[in-house]
Amino acid sequence: MLSHNSHLSDQELLLAADGELPAARTGQVASHLAECWTCRVRKGEIEASIGDFVRAYRGDLDSMLPSPAGPRALLKAQLAEMTAERAAVPPDWRTQWLQGSNPRYAGAALFLAVLALLVYLRPTFESPRTFHVVPVSFPEPSLTPGVAAGVNRDQICHSMPPKNRIVPASLQRRVFEEYGISGAEPRAYEVDYLITPALGGADDIRNLWPQSYSSAVWNARVKDALEDRLHDLVCDGRLDLATAQRDISSDWIAAYKKYFETDQPLQ
Amino acid sequence: MFKDKTIPDLAAASVSATGEAKPTPLEEEVVALFDQMQDKLLRYLLSTGVPVQDGEEIVQEVFLALFQHLQLGKSRRNLRAWVFQVAHNLSVKRYVATLRDRKHMVEPGAVPDEDAFVDRAPNPEDQLARNQSHARLQSVFRALPEQDRRCLSLRAEGLTYREIGQILDMSLGAVALSLGRSLARFARAEER
């Protein structure tokens, strides 16, 4: 917007304030600003708007920032884990060759690659490659003791029951790794909350475990039924929340048997 | 306690996960970058309406991705823009996922369009303490198109126009126009 033909536009004044003018124009604009009070005042007004915005932006958001100490420690642990994993895995020949700096080996690399492909694709009587799926119906207590988020009965019962959140891929991977099933087919498992958020369970790796779909009897659907049952009992006042959390986290199958009064899952 | 089957190598996996090995130079570098940038990244994500917990998860994912990026010997050119771009992409992806899968919908208010820069002060006294100018700026910010809000927030975090353009997939001119347009609205609100 030009206030006068001889004046700088607001756009140029902003670019000047941000140091984003093309080099050739920078000197001209600086000269004009030195001469022109109108443009200098306008530039000051733009700077003032920036100042207003930054104060409001920082004022609102800085107060919401949690302490970085926890996330920092988590990051360090995850990086150490990734480094250890990488050290434990033999170097990938593809990476080795791709990163190899000697072009004389390119032909040999190509030959080996073709050979490897032929070996891989050779007719075979072996069964096709399968992933090793470990049936997990029960969380390992040392890894998944269950963690509650510190909410009370009213919060659980008088608000919409929270749905299980999407567990981030990186966290899912850590859960698989903790359970020693990183080589398994991840789609064979659901990373599940031990204490469901509907009973106050926390988004914490100590509250997550890989429940395999291959568990025919005590599977995720059975546990879902238990979670609904406990939620109803707590909200009806027939069971206190702490007991529900403790029972489901210590032995969910025993809890199912107890609260449904059965030895086998009900259909 | 019982299980269907004892899980092999559990102890070994646990030990390796909690080992006290000295951090490698690359780990230290990534943690140093985290120290420099995590508050900027998180603030940017919050300004777009991402809830705090989701923001923290995205920041973790960003720095794990950065570590893998550097481990693979990929480009170190302008890591600041790279980090913001990954955070931006993850937040958009997560937002799209929440829309697609309503059963996993996060708490109301997580949708960027409705919640950006919203006044989250919990008690009325705090709200009273805020001056009128602040409230006007908030309402102006909320009324801006999403892309303009993102531009402003990224600029407020110190990114150059070129970096903002790269992150939001906009031309330099479009970034300049967006910022100019937004600041003009703030100026009008303050009758400048």
Which stretches of A36-152 are DSSP H helices?
A: 37-62, 69-88, 93-99, 106-121
- pLDDT of A71 reads 87
Hey, which of A127-136, A142-151, A194-203, A232-241 has the most confident mean pLDDT?
A232-241
What burial class does residue B185 get, using C-beta atoms within 10 Å of its C-beta: 0-12 exposed, 13-18 middle, 19+ buried?
middle
- pLDDT of A82 reads 85
Give me the residues of B, 99-118, that contact A with CB < 8 A. Answer: 101, 103-107, 117
Residue A188 has pLDDT above 60, yes or no: yes
Complete domains list, chain B, with CATH: 23-108 (1.10.1740.10), 121-192 (1.10.10.10)
Alpha carbons within 13 A on the beta-carbon side of B28: 5
Q: Do A166 and B97 touch (CB under 8 A)?
A: yes
- Locate the domains of chain A by residue range: 10-54, 153-260
Residue A98 has pLDDT above 60, yes or no: no
The rounded mean pLDDT for chain A is: 77
- pLDDT of B151 reads 96
Give me the residues of A, 201-220, that contact B with CB < 8 A. Answer: 203, 215, 218
Q: Do B16 and A72 touch (CB under 8 A)?
A: no
Hey, which of A3-12, B137-146, B160-169 has the most confident mean pLDDT?
B160-169
- pLDDT of A228 reads 87
- pLDDT of A146 reads 87
Q: Which among A57, A201, A166 is positioned nearest to B57, based on CA atoms?
A: A166
A219 Cβ contact list (under 8 Å, min separation 6): A137, A211, A213
- pLDDT of A120 reads 54
Residue range B87-131, pLDDT digits in tens: 999 988 887 776 665 444 344 333 344 444 444 444 555 555 556
The mean pLDDT of A169-191, rounded to a whole number, is 70
The mean pLDDT of A132-159, rounded to a whole number, is 75
- Higher per-residue pLDDT: A267 or A184: A267
Residue range B16-68, pLDDT digits in tens: 444 457 899 999 999 999 999 999 999 999 998 889 988 999 999 999 999 99
Hey, which of A30-34, A218-222, A234-238 has the most confident mean pLDDT?
A30-34
Q: Do B31 and A79 touch (CB under 8 A)?
A: yes
Give me the residues of A, 104-133, that contact B with CB < 8 A. Answer: none
A89 Cβ contact list (under 8 Å, min separation 6): none
Q: Which two tokens stand for residue B115?
A: 């919640």
The ipTM of this complex is: 0.73
The confidence band for A251, taking pLDDT boundaries of 50, 70 and 90, is confident
Q: Which two tokens stand for residue A257?
A: 């048997």
Residue A164 has pLDDT above 70, yes or no: no
The mean pLDDT of A97-115, rounded to a whole number, is 56
- pLDDT of A108 reads 59
Kindly list the residues from chain A whose CB atom is less than 8 angstroms away from the CB atom of residue B26.
83
- pLDDT of B4 reads 37
Contact, A189 vs A181, CB < 8 A?
Answer: yes
Q: Does A99 touch chain B (CB under 8 A)?
A: yes
The confidence band for B177, taking pLDDT boundaries of 50, 70 and 90, is very high
